[in-house]
Amino acid sequence: MLASHLDPDRLADWIAATRARTSVVEVAMALSRFPDLQLLVFKGAHLAALAGDARTYRFYDDVDVAVVRGSFDAAIGALRADAQFSVSGARQSALVRVRPSGGIVDLQRRALPRFLAPNTNRLVLSRALRFDSHFGPQTWVPRAADAAVISLAHLAKDGFLRRRVENAVVDLKILSELVTPADFAVAVAALGARRAVIASLAMLDERAPAGWLSALADAAEVKRIRRVAEWVRSTTPSSWGTNPFAHPLLADRIADRLAGVAWGVVQSVRFATLRRLGKL
């Protein structure tokens, strides 16, 4: 679709999305000298491609990309040494700004944090689809059911911020046409992050795809997890990109060990403090 044919209200979205997609191609080209490196493009840019390259289907100002095979640190080092890129951060993720366009790639070690889903990279890549023609060399995208799990787990990780919720609703509308409740349940079981996914679906309520929540949990469990999710949302300032309180309360690996919400609150405070001190 030509920019001149867009509704004026969506022109800015089209420009931002086009710049973002071009940026991930530039990053992929720069990293193509690492033959063992594989990049997974997920969330906004990937789902725009699923929607028929509808770059205006929703706003996204960067591209989420995970180094699912090969060395994340080597990739960051190569980009830092290239004058075409400006890189900030590097522990678990880095924002890579492409010059001169200003497009941003959010380059991450994992499609989901280890404490949410420890095997995400390996499992997602094992059934991912190659997308070189769209995003550049050595790029892949998750299959639809895995993309749904990743999208919902990120929504919980980010504390159910309003803009993230709005984006998730649009994303899931696309994915619900491709994923049955049964396929979705299988993907959740494989990737993990079950409670985070249930929390997101519960918070979306009627806007969640039909049948997905009931395929994962009964009403009693949904009610318990929803209470925790609502507390997480109430403690998430709108200015935060992510909410550290969400991690220990909603991560499957940790939630399975919780004796009660009180213990989880104590652990979440400790976790948030450690993050601020730079120890995690």
The dihedral over CA atoms of 47, 211, 235, 154, expressed in degrees to the nearest 10, equals -30
CATH 3.30.460.10 spans which residues of the chain? 1-142
Angstrom distance (rounded) from CA 158 to CA 152: 10
The residue type at 166:
E
What's the mean per-residue pLDDT of the chain?
Answer: 79
Angstrom distance (rounded) from CA 199 to CA 242: 16
Tokens matching residue 252: 């499957």
Kindly state the greatest CA–CA separation across the chain: 58
The position carrying tokens 């890189």 is 87
Domain 1-142 CATH (choose: 3.30.460.10, 3.40.50.720, 3.40.50.620, 2.40.50.140):
3.30.460.10
User: pLDDT digits over 95-121, tens only?
Assistant: 999 987 788 899 999 998 877 777 788
Tens digit of pLDDT at every position of the chain (280 positions): 444 445 565 666 666 677 778 899 999 999 999 999 999 999 888 877 766 555 445 666 688 999 999 999 999 999 999 999 999 987 888 999 998 778 889 999 999 887 777 778 899 999 999 999 889 999 999 999 999 999 998 888 877 878 888 888 988 988 999 999 999 999 999 998 888 899 899 999 999 999 999 999 999 988 888 887 787 777 665 544 444 444 434 444 434 443 344 445 545 554 554 444 443 3
Q: Tell me 206's DSSP state.
A: G
Tokens matching residue 247: 């991690």
The two beta strands, 85-88 and 62-69, are unpaired
Partners of 140 in the β-ladder: 40, 130
Nearest to 74 by CA among 122, 106, 31, 115: 31
Q: Which helix (H) or strand (E) holds 264?
A: helix 261-276
